[in-house]
Amino acid sequence: MSRTKIQTMTAVLVLGSCLILSGCSDLRRWTGKDLPAENDLPAENGPDVGKILLECRSMTDLPQKEQEQLFHQLRTDFEWQETPETRFALVCLALRPQGTTQDRIWARKLLWDYVLQENPPEELAALAGLLENLIDQRLLTEQQLAAERRRAETLAGKLKALEDIERIIRQREEGGFPAP
């Protein structure tokens, strides 16, 4: 064999080995058969946590209006058929910034119901616990924000009253009225 052929074969073998080792090759191309993808295989222990996380992540990338529409559509779908995937998608969408407090409270109840009634696999129970913690933190933050807004409004009212008093005092001093 010529040196060029040996170099070409070596390069092909190295490239093929790299592809196989890196997981970039697709077995379906080599066999010509349509094998199920890893994500298409049925889960033995219920829904796939990774798939649920990827779906939640992709939903958070949607524009605000699309998230709102998706939330309402999933909520309607969930009323007809309660699936873990829809349940977790609803919980993730309830955490969106434009979501309401009622949405978050309802999502927390969805998680409680799931953990108590479905006896989920350990990974899903852990995910449910994490999401519940996020909801609780979000609700607490919203309560604190509302309290701070009320406090700011109260302080703004008091400042306005003090400014009015100061204005009246200046007017009296300028007008030559005696102070009481």
- The confidence band for 44, taking pLDDT boundaries of 50, 70 and 90, is low
- Give the Cα separation of 56 and 91 in Å (integer): 9
- Give the Cα separation of 180 and 168 in Å (integer): 12
Look at residue 159 in the predicted model and tell me its pLDDT. 94
From its phi and psi, is residue 2 left (phi > 0), alpha (psi between -120 and 50) or beta?
beta
**Looking at the predicted structure, is the pLDDT value of residue 115 above 80?**
yes
Q: Cα dist. 56→50, 61, 83, 96, 111 in Å?
A: 10, 9, 15, 11, 15
| Two tokens, residue 112 | 């409680």
pTM of the full structure: 0.61
| Two tokens, residue 97 | 């910034």
pLDDT tens per residue across span 68-114? 999 999 999 888 888 889 999 999 999 888 889 999 999 999 999 88
| Two tokens, residue 49 | 């946590």
In three-state secondary structure terms, 97 is: coil
